[in-house]
Homo-oligomer: A and B are copies of this chain.
């Protein structure tokens, strides 16, 4: 039983569909789900990674009845997301998944004035649509087949706050929060649970990728951040999923941001949230002023950067 008296969600025997399941958080979550007795279908783009992931899942198999399957799709369009879901369903005796876990995504930080239109669109595709389309396809399917399922989005600490360099990513992660909060209300009509996880920095292949384009000032501001391994993040995510938390966090800082930006979203323990919120009211403005000071101290260096790139008339 969870603390609210609702029965804990048990992965055992459930059909779990994990997007981005071949690496990072998605693979770590799939591994935990398999260890707890679930059938797992994973979707990602890279076929080689998918095969390697399935091999890894086989090593933690709990029973010979568990089914694992993989499908290669890109998921950033409505059509492909629908096709991927139909493939997942067809590969599991026509059964709509019990749980849909949206771990696909990526980020490419850069200065806003340097971004191309394509990069901005890609930011929304890889931060928002890659999850929204599957949620949309799955909601329709769950409503149609009366499956009392579960959908869990993966946002980011940057879905609660923002930082210089993330103009293509933070909006997408905020949008996921808006979508999850809307659907938490709406999908009650079909008995579908909607949850959303806000991980902090995760040391995954995606993190190494984003650091390649990240502005120097952003790297400096993140210098003192501590992150989680994909396994630690997956543990926090699954614990929140099982306990039916609407907004799931896995680290202390993001939990302060959750409590300080809660609004009408469901919280956790009232007094703890209250204390974190009060702490945030004092600490977060101080943090923001520190960041403002760092950015203002970066102006002269940035001027040279802009001039070298012909961004000043």
- Residue numbers of A with Cβ under 8 A of B are 78-79, 111-113, 115, 117, 120, 124, 128, 132-133, 136, 139-140, 143-146, 158-167, 170-179, 181-183, 185-190, 257, 260-267, 273-274, 277, 280-281, 284-285, 287-288, 291-292, 295-296, 298-299, 302, 306, 311-313
Q: How many Å lie between the Cα of A267 and that of B43 in the bound state?
A: 42
A167-B182 CB under 8 A given contacts A175-B128, A281-B274: yes
A178 and B173 form a contact (CB under 8 A): yes
A208 to chain B, nearest CB (A): 22
B181-A161 in contact (CB<8A): yes
Question: Does A188 lie within 8 Å of B312, measured CB to CB?
Answer: no
Complex Cα spacing A147 to B164, Å: 20
29 interchain pairs (CB within 8 A)? A78-B117, A112-B139, A112-B183, A112-B186, A112-B187, A113-B139, A115-B136, A117-B133, A120-B132, A132-B171, A143-B311, A143-B312, A146-B312, A160-B263, A161-B263, A163-B182, A164-B186, A167-B182, A171-B175, A185-B295, A189-B302, A261-B262, A262-B281, A263-B284, A264-B287, A264-B288, A266-B285, A273-B281, A277-B281
Distance (Å) between the CB of A148 and the closest chain B CB? 13
Residue of B nearest to A286 (CB): B264
Q: Add 20 more A-B contacts to A79-B117, A170-B181, A273-B281 (CB < 8 A).
A: A78-B120, A112-B182, A113-B190, A124-B124, A124-B175, A145-B313, A162-B178, A163-B185, A167-B182, A167-B183, A170-B182, A171-B175, A172-B175, A173-B178, A174-B174, A175-B178, A257-B263, A260-B263, A261-B261, A267-B285
Q: Cα distance A287–B284 when bound, in Å?
A: 26
User: Which 10 A-B pairs have CB atoms at the shortest separation, nearest pair first?
Assistant: A174-B178, A78-B117, A171-B175, A261-B263, A171-B178, A162-B181, A175-B175, A170-B178, A162-B182, A264-B284
Partner of A113, one of B112, B132, B143: B143
Bound complex: CA of A161 vs CA of B181, how far in Å? 7
Most chain-B CB neighbours within 10 Å: which of A79, A175, A277, A312? A175
Q: Which B residues lie within 8 Å of A139 (CB)?
A: 112-113
The minimal Cβ–Cβ distance linking A263 to chain B, given in whole angstroms, is: 4
| Beta-carbon contact of A171 and B167 below 8 Å | no
Q: How far is the CB of A284 from chain B (nearest CB, A)?
A: 4
Cβ-defined contact, A186 with B170, below 8 A: no
A139 and B167 CA atoms in complex are apart in Å by 12
Compute how far the CA of A264 lies from the CA of B166 in the bound complex, rounded to whole angstroms. 15
Chain B residue contacts of A124, Cβ below 8 A? 124, 128, 175
Query: Which residues of chain B are near A117, meaning CB under 8 Å?
Result: 78-79, 133, 136
Interface contact B163-A136, CB-CB below 8 Å: no
A167 touches B179 (CB 8 A): yes
Q: What B residues does A143 contact at CB under 8 A?
A: 113, 306, 311-312
